[in-house]
Amino acid sequence: MAERNDELRDNAPSGPIETAWDRHRFDMKLVNPANKRKFDVIVVGTGLAGGAAAATLGELGYNVKAFCYQDSPRRAHSIAAQGGINAAKNYQGDGDSIYRLFYDTVKGGDYRSRERNVYRLAQISVDIIDQCAAQGVPFAREYGGTLTNRSFGGAQVSRTFYARGQTGQQLLLGAYQALERQIQAGKVTMYPRTEMLELIVVDGRARGIVTRDMVTGKIEAHLAHAVILGTGGYGNVFYLSTNAKGCNVTASWRAHRKGAFFANPCYTQIHPTCIPVSGDHQSKLTLMSESLRNDGRVWVPKKKEDTGKKPSQIPEADRDYYLERKYPAFGNLVPRDIASRNAKEVCDEGRGVGPGGLGVYLDFADAIERLGKKAIEERYGNLFEMYERITDEDPYEVPMRIYPAVHYTMGGLWVDYNLMSNLPGLFVIGEANFSDHGANRLGASALMQGLADGYFVVPYTLGNYLWSERTDQKPVSADHPEVKKAIADVEARTTKLLSIKGTRSVDSFHRELGKLMWDKCGMARNEAGLKEALERIPALRAEFWENLRVPGTGAELNQSLEKAGRVADFLELAELFAKDALHRRESAGGHFREESQTPEGEALRDDENFSYVAAWEFNGVGAEPTLHKEQLDFEYVKLTQRSYK
Amino acid sequence: MRLTLNVWRQKGPSDKGGFEKHSLSDVSPDSSFLEMLDVLNEQLIEQGKEPIAFDHDCREGICGTCGMVINGMAHGPQQLTTTCQLHMRKFKDGDEIWIEPWRAKAFPVLKDLVVDRGSFDRIIQAGGYISVNTGSAPDANEILVPKTEADRAMDAAACIGCGACVAACPNASAMLFTSAKIAHLGLMPQGQPERYSRARNMVAQMDAEGFGGCTNHGECEAVCPKGITLENIARMNRDFVKGMFIARQEPKAQA
pLDDT score at A336:
84
CA distance A287 to A274: 4
pLDDT score at A67:
98
User: For residue B39, which residues of chain A lie inside 8 Å, CB to CB?
Assistant: 281
CA distance A433 to A416: 10
A105 touches B at CB < 8 Å? no
User: For residue A246, which residues of chain B lie inside 8 Å, CB to CB?
Assistant: 57
pLDDT score at B209:
98
**Is B134–A52 a contact, with Cβ atoms under 8 angstroms apart?**
yes
> Would you identify the CATH topology of the domain A481-610?
Methane Monooxygenase Hydroxylase; Chain G, domain 1 (1.20.58)
> Would you identify the CATH topology of the domain B118-246?
Fumarate Reductase Iron-sulfur Protein; Chain B, domain 2 (1.10.1060)
- Containing H/E element for B115? strand B114-115
- Average confidence score pLDDT of chain B: 97
In the chain, the amino acid numbered A218 is K
Question: Which DSSP string do the residues of A475-519 spell out, in sequence order?
Answer: P--TT-HHHHHHHHHHHHHHHHHHH---SB-HHHHHHHHHHHHHH
pLDDT score at A17:
98
Strand partners, B24: B3
pLDDT score at B250:
83
Tell me which residue in B28, B30, B190 faces A134 most closely, judged by beta carbons. Answer: B190
Q: Which of A226, A252, A255 is nearest to A63 (CA)?
A: A226
What is residue B236's three-state secondary structure? helix
**Is A278–B28 a contact, with Cβ atoms under 8 angstroms apart?**
yes
Among all residues of chain B, which has the CA nearest to that of A180?
A: B125
Sign of CA dihedral A326, A332, A334, A335: positive
User: For residue A456, which residues of chain B lie inside 8 Å, CB to CB?
Assistant: 134-135
Residues with Cβ < 8 Å from B80, sequence gap 6 or more?
B224, B225, B226, B227
Question: Which DSSP string do the residues of A179-202 spell out, in sequence order?
Answer: HHHHHHTTSEEEE-SEEEEEEEEE
Residues 453-492 in A contacting B (C-alpha not used; CB under 8 Å): 455-456, 459
In the chain, the amino acid numbered B15 is D
Alpha helices in A395-480 (DSSP H): 446-451, 458-469
What is residue A601's three-state secondary structure? coil
Q: What is the DSSP-derived secondary structure letter of residue A95?
A: S
pLDDT score at B67:
97
pLDDT tens by residue, A455-465: 999 999 999 99
Q: Which of B188, B183, B189, B217 is nearest to B202 (CA)?
A: B183
Over residues A20-38, the mean pLDDT reads 96
Q: Which band of pLDDT confidence, cut at 50, 70 and 90, is reported for residue A42? A: very high
pLDDT score at A290:
80
CB pairs under 8 A between A and B: 220
The larger pLDDT score, comparing residue A598 to residue A123, is at A123
> Does residue A442 surpass a pLDDT of 80?
yes
pLDDT tens by residue, B234-251: 999 999 999 999 977 888
pLDDT tens by residue, A356-384: 899 999 999 999 999 999 988 887 888 89
Cβ(B228)–Cβ(B159) below 8 Å: yes
> Does residue A401 surpass a pLDDT of 70?
yes
Over residues A169-181, the mean pLDDT reads 98
Tell me which residue in A74, A134, A557 faces B53 most closely, judged by beta carbons. Answer: A557
**Is A141–B38 a contact, with Cβ atoms under 8 angstroms apart?**
no
pLDDT score at A553:
97
CATH 3.50.50.60 at A17-191+229-266+410-469, yes or no: yes
pLDDT score at A309:
94
CA distance A584 to B126: 52
Over residues A254-258, the mean pLDDT reads 98
> Does residue B7 surpass a pLDDT of 80?
yes
| Test the B interface: residue of A389, A504, A508, A567 with most B CBs within 10 Å | A389
Q: Which of A284, A272, A269, A270 is nearest to A359 (CA)?
A: A272
Tell me which residue in A59, A192, A552 faces B134 most closely, judged by beta carbons. Answer: A59
pLDDT score at A427:
98
pLDDT score at A198:
98
Q: Which band of pLDDT confidence, cut at 50, 70 and 90, is reported for residue B88? A: very high
Angle value at C-alpha A637, between A631 and A642, nearest 5 degrees: 95
> CATH 1.10.1060.10 region(s) of chain B?
118-246
**Is A281–B28 a contact, with Cβ atoms under 8 angstroms apart?**
yes
% chain A with pLDDT above 70: 99
Architecture of domain B3-111: Roll (3.10)
**Is B150–A279 a contact, with Cβ atoms under 8 angstroms apart?**
no
User: For residue A52, which residues of chain B lie inside 8 Å, CB to CB?
Assistant: 134
Cβ(B150)–Cβ(A140) below 8 Å: yes
pLDDT score at B50:
96
> Does residue A1 surpass a pLDDT of 70?
no
Q: Which band of pLDDT confidence, cut at 50, 70 and 90, is reported for residue A474? A: confident
Over residues A607-622, the mean pLDDT reads 97
Q: Which of A254, A293, A297, A336 is catalytic?
A: A336
Over residues A37-65, the mean pLDDT reads 98
Over residues B33-57, the mean pLDDT reads 97
Count helices and strands in chain B by DSSP H and E runs: 8, 7
CA distance A353 to A434: 36
Phi, psi (rounded to 5 degrees) for A42? -105, 130
Question: Which DSSP string do the residues of B121-186 spell out, in sequence order?
Answer: HHHHHTT-S----TT-PPPGGGS---HHHHHHHHHHHT-----HHHHH-TT-B-HHHHHHHHHHHH
Among all residues of chain B, which has the CA nearest to that of A52?
A: B134
Other beta carbons within 10 angstroms of residue B253's beta carbon come to 18
Class of domain A270-407: alpha beta
User: For residue B55, which residues of chain A lie inside 8 Å, CB to CB?
Assistant: 71
**Is B157–A173 a contact, with Cβ atoms under 8 angstroms apart?**
yes
> Does residue A643 surpass a pLDDT of 80?
no
> CATH 3.90.700.10 region(s) of chain A?
270-407
> Does residue A53 surpass a pLDDT of 70?
yes
Cβ(A268)–Cβ(A431) below 8 Å: no
Strand partners, B109: B115
CA distance B62 to A16: 43
User: For residue A241, which residues of chain B lie inside 8 Å, CB to CB?
Assistant: none
Distances (CA, A) of A307 to A312, A316, A361, A394, B203: 12, 14, 11, 19, 59
Residues with Cβ < 8 Å from A168, sequence gap 6 or more?
A48, A78, A79, A80, A81, A82, A447
Choose the weakest-confidence range: A185-189, A336-340, A604-608.
Answer: A336-340
pLDDT tens by residue, B180-232: 999 999 999 999 999 999 999 999 999 999 999 999 999 999 999 999 999 99
CA B88 and chain centroid, separation: 22
> CATH 1.20.58.100 region(s) of chain A?
481-610
Other beta carbons within 10 angstroms of residue B10's beta carbon come to 19
CA B55 and chain centroid, separation: 12
Tell me which residue in A134, A140, A145 faces B144 most closely, judged by beta carbons. Answer: A145
pLDDT score at A154:
67
Among all residues of chain B, which has the CA nearest to that of A191?
A: B118
Among all residues of chain B, which has the CA nearest to that of A178?
A: B129
Tell me which residue in B34, B63, B145 faces A141 most closely, judged by beta carbons. Answer: B145
Query: What are the b/e assignments for A498-534, b being 16+ CB within 10 Å?
Result: bebeeebbbbbbbbbbbebbbebbbbbbbeebbeebb
Over residues A421-443, the mean pLDDT reads 95
> Does residue A644 surpass a pLDDT of 90?
no
A150 is catalytic: no
pLDDT score at A424:
97
Q: Which band of pLDDT confidence, cut at 50, 70 and 90, is reported for residue A34? A: very high
Longest dimension (CA), chain A: 77
pLDDT tens by residue, B163-172: 999 999 999 9
Q: Which ipTM was obtained for this model?
A: 0.98
Query: How distant is the Cα of B128 from the closest Cα of chain A, in angstroms?
Result: 7
User: For residue A567, which residues of chain B lie inside 8 Å, CB to CB?
Assistant: none
**Is B121–A79 a contact, with Cβ atoms under 8 angstroms apart?**
no
Tell me which residue in B63, B85, B153 faces A389 most closely, judged by beta carbons. Answer: B85
> CATH 3.10.20.30 region(s) of chain B?
3-111
